[in-house]
């Protein structure tokens, strides 16, 4: 089968591999859609901390079942997505149902080869039924689930001001699920075009560009309280460190984004707020189910995010251009028959 391999940072090439064979309790998928994620772009750049090379990228996937090995409610021909986080099932995190942060986690397309290929084998227990959702939207369940998980971690209450820093697809997902939780959503980004998208397409009532006086704007918007929840979806060290100053007294700060360095913040400022700092890693089945339901009900429309579409044959050449903000990319989708 044909694959697109990231040989090393900056190098993508097409190659061939033997088609995988599903083992016990595994399912063989024909890959139909591959969403391109910031993680894929950062892997290509060499700035994502969990990558080794060579690696076949791609974890935002929709596929068609070719073969299920073992008993399952799924059948060949079913359209599905799946949780691309392959957990061990017995570590301390897995025993608590936190399979998203398994101590021995293998993320498909990160720690092990992913879906930039004709076929892929996945654990049958990770499959998520398509429930009539289109292939494009189905491939975007995973990035939306990351945002939904961050909002779940923050335990967002109705009426709370929630600041989401970073208006990429992950931040946009967090905004949408914060809005569904009844929050007053505030988006902060450097890119005015993306903020316009948040206002016009996602119904975000407040947006702030990074070059404004952010503290003053936040005070104005929140009546002096400041955001009860701050979500980082940038993975940018400066943005993350600034974010501590935006949190209300008694507030929560959730890091969805990831970067390679150490974080420094003022202990007295954090302490006087009795702040809560947490990371939010991947997502759980509960998050996937919530996203699938929200898409089925029309509460979120991930297809609005898709700005670029390419064939698998053209993906290798187009890939580097998506690193450039000037491309206007929000979400690129690789289409397959
Ligand atoms: Zn992703
Ligand atoms: Zn585990």
Give domain limits for the chain: 2-139+301-335, 147-279
Ligand 1 centroid – CA 45 distance (Å): 15
> Which of these, 243, 183, 178, lies nearest to 208 by C-alpha position?
243
- The fraction of the chain above a pLDDT of 70, given in percent, is 100
pLDDT tier at 250, thresholds 50, 70, 90: very high
3-state secondary structure of 219: helix
Distance (angstroms) between ligand 1 centre and the Cα of 272 equals 35
Residues 310 and 323: their CA atoms lie apart, in Å, by: 15
Mapped onto helix, strand or coil, the DSSP state of residue 176 is: helix
Put simply, whether the predicted model's pTM sits higher than 0.85 gets the answer yes
Distance CA 307, CA 144 (A): 16
CA of 63 to the centre of ligand 1 (A): 16
Radius of gyration of the chain (CA): 20
What is the Å distance from ligand 1's center to 273 Cα?
Answer: 32
Q: Which CATH number fits domain 2-139+301-335: 3.90.180.10, 3.30.470.20, 3.40.440.10, 3.30.465.10?
A: 3.90.180.10
Q: Do residues 183 and 205 lie in contact, with contact meaning Cβ atoms separated by under 8 Å? A: no
CB under 5 Å of ion ligand 1: residues: 37, 39
Quickly list H helices, 14-161.
38-45, 92-95, 135-139, 141-154
Classify residue 108 by its DSSP letter.
B
The hierarchical CATH code for the domain 147-279 is 3.40.50.720
Q: Mean pLDDT of all residues in the chain?
A: 96
Planar angle of CA 134, 183, 193, nearest 5 degrees: 60
pLDDT at site 50: 80
CA of 246 to the centre of ligand 1 (A): 26
Which is more confidently placed, 260 or 82?
82
Q: Is the pLDDT of residue 49 over 80?
A: no
pLDDT in tens, 252-288: 999 999 988 999 999 999 999 999 999 999 999 999 9
Closest CA to 162 of 138, 182, 190: 182
- Cα separation, 330 vs 337, whole angstroms: 23
Mean pLDDT within 311-330 = 92
How does strand 331-335 pair with strand 26-36? Answer: antiparallel
Beta pairing class for 184-189 and 161-165: parallel
């Amino acid at each position: 089968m044909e694959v697109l391999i990231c040989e090393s940072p900056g190098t993508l090439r097409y190659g061939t591999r033997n088609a995988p064979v599903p083992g016990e309790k595994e399912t063989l998928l024909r890959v139909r859609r591959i969403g391109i994620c910031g993680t894929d772009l950062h892997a290509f750049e060499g700035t994502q901390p969990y990558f080794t090379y060579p690696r076949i990228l791609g974890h935002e996937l929709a596929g068609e079942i070719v073969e299920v090995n073992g008993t399952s409610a799924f059948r060949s021909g079913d359209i599905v997505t799946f949780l691309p986080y392959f957990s061990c099932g017995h570590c301390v995190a897995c025993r608590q149902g936190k399979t998203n942060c398994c101590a021995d986690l293998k993320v498909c397309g990160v720690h092990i080869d992913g879906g930039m290929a004709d076929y892929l084998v996945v654990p049958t227990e990770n499959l998520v039924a398509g429930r009539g959702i289109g292939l494009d939207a189905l491939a975007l369940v995973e990035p939306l689930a990351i945002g939904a998980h961050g909002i779940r971690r923050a335990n967002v209450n109705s009426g709370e001001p929630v600041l989401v820093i970073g208006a990429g697809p992950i931040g946009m997902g967090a905004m949408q699920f914060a809005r569904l939780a009844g929050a007053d959503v505030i988006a902060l980004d450097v890119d005015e075009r993306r903020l316009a998208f948040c206002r016009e397409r996602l119904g975000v009532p407040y947006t702030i560009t990074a070059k404004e006086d952010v503290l003053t704007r936040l005070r104005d918007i929140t009546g002096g309280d400041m955001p009860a929840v701050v979500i980082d979806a940038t993975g940018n060290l400066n943005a993350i460190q600034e974010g501590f100053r935006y949190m209300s007294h008694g507030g929560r700060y959730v890091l969805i984004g990831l970067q390679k360095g150490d974080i420094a913040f003022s202990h007295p400022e954090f302490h006087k707020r009795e702040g809560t700092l947490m990371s939010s890693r991947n997502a759980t089945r509960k998050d996937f189910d919530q996203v699938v339901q929200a898409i089925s009900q029309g509460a979120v429309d991930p297809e609005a995010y898709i700005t670029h579409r390419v064939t698998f044959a053209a993906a290798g050449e187009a890939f580097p251009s998506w690193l450039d903000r000037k491309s206007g990319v929000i979400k690129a989708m690789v289409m397959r028959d």
